[in-house]
Amino acid sequence: MNSRTTLTQYLIEQRRRYPEASGRFNNLILDVALSCKAIARAVAFGRLADMHGHHLHNDVASVNVQGEVQHKLDVYANQTFVDMTATNGHLAGMASEEMQEPWQIPAALPRGKHLLVFDPLDGSSNVDVNMTVGSIFSVLRAPDEVIASGRDVRSEDFFQPGAQQLAAGYALYGPSTMLVLSVGHGVAGFTLDPNLGEFMLTHPDIQIPADTQEFAINASNSRFWEPPVKRYVDECLAGKTGPRGKDFNMRWIASMVAEAHRILMRGGVFMYPRDSKDPSKAGRLRLMYEASPIGFLIEQAGGRASTGHQAALHIKPSDLHQRIGLVFGSRNEVERIERYHAEPQPLNWHNPLFAERSLFMD
């Protein structure tokens, strides 16, 4: 392993495959990386820098478009992405979990060809207890007409299936800070050298093992799960004594970016499936800045990302903040979960009167 390769050198090497490339794409990724370094620094200072707790607006905790209370670091991380990526002429526009509408590059600044979509601080409820959080990002090409006209971006300009992403990645603010990136040609992991302030290539070609004995799901939602998910988890829990014939282990960090990293490092399966907890929501996680970029990385590393019913990367978004059910990780496990979804479901499973241990069933 060549740990003397910097992120910049890696990007230059990758760019050789596209002789016509202008360099703007690489500069955009480097701006994103710079944002992540700034956020890593703020996260590391924690309470020392008064960065813990809720973000207050007129003495009341502010709420984002998802109805979730914003933490100070959510707001800081969002602003950092905006400030560090908007001015260099790479972007036509951007969208974020923390902003209801697309963010326009001010008319006085040059506009570029790319769209940046990000979750500035995933898992931010973990910040106050000093657990791993991260930033997730996705790069799309703006529609030709947007590039040609230089007009303001609209939500629809971002509605591209995850398979069309030019790049996706995340930064992880854990015991060490890492940047994990795919520019559509495998997945590479970089560790921030705190002495040099550089992301160094430490994980050159990340591959997810096809099989696993580790799963991650929030089991407190089990009474809301659909039968295929319940069946899969029950079989894992039955271990050696059940149809799988092997014991499983379970993990739940409640920071999806950290779970994705664990799975990229050693395999596993993550599930936040669609459930019946809140019928107005198609799932917990957001398609454009969580499922698509993480799905892209997982598939680039040989794994699979799915809703259970269809490949996550094939879904064309219809809303910037759309939610979906998501299952990803080791390919053979995700395909098994998809098979369970494809099989005929028991009649009346969605009716609580007929749920297991209900009045109407043994």
Examine residue 218 and tell whether it contacts ligand F6P (CB under 6 A): yes
CB-CB contact of 225 with 273 (8 Å) = yes
Cβ count near 164 (within 10 Å): 12
Which part of the chain contacts ligand F6P (CB under 6 A), choosing from 69-77, 173-181, 250-258, 354-362?
250-258
Of the pair 246, 277, the CB lying nearest ligand F6P is at 277
When asked if residue 254 is in the footprint of ligand F6P (CB under 6 A), the reply is: yes
Residue 222 and residue 144: Cα distance in Å, rounded? Answer: 45
- Choices 183-191, 248-256, 305-313, 354-362; region in contact with ligand F6P by CB under 6 A: 248-256
Beta strands in 187-313 (DSSP E): 188-193, 198-203, 214-217, 249-250, 269-272, 285-286, 304-306
Closer Cβ to ligand F6P, 127 or 315, answer by number: 127
Ramachandran class of 272: left when φ > 0, alpha when ψ lies in -120 to 50, beta otherwise: beta
CB-based burial label for 235 (10 Å; 0-12, 13-18, 19+):
middle
State the Cα–Cα distance between residues 344 and 123, nearest whole angstrom.
35
Report the residue number, 47 or 281, with the smaller CB distance to ligand F6P: 281
CB 260 within 8 A of CB 328: yes
Give the footprint of ligand F6P on residues 255-274 (CB under 6 A).
255-256, 272
**Closer Cβ to ligand F6P, 135 or 160, answer by number:** 135
List the x/- string, 172-211, binding to ligand F6P by CB under 6 A.
Answer: ----------------------------------------
Closest distance of CB 121 from ligand F6P, Å: 9
Smaller CB distance to ligand F6P: residue 99 or 285?
A: 285
Q: Which stretch binds ligand F6P (CB under 6 A): 53-61, 249-257, 319-327, 345-353?
A: 249-257
Residue type, 342: A
Residue span binding ligand F6P (CB under 6 A) among the ranges 6-14, 40-48, 254-262, 347-355: 254-262
- Considering the complex, what minimum distance in angstroms separates the CB of residue 221 from ligand F6P? 7
Q: Are 177 and 236 in contact (CB under 8 A)?
A: no
Please give the helix or strand (H or E) that residue 238 lies within, else none: helix 227-238
Q: Which residues bind ligand F6P (CB under 6 A)?
A: 122-123, 218, 254-256, 272, 284-285
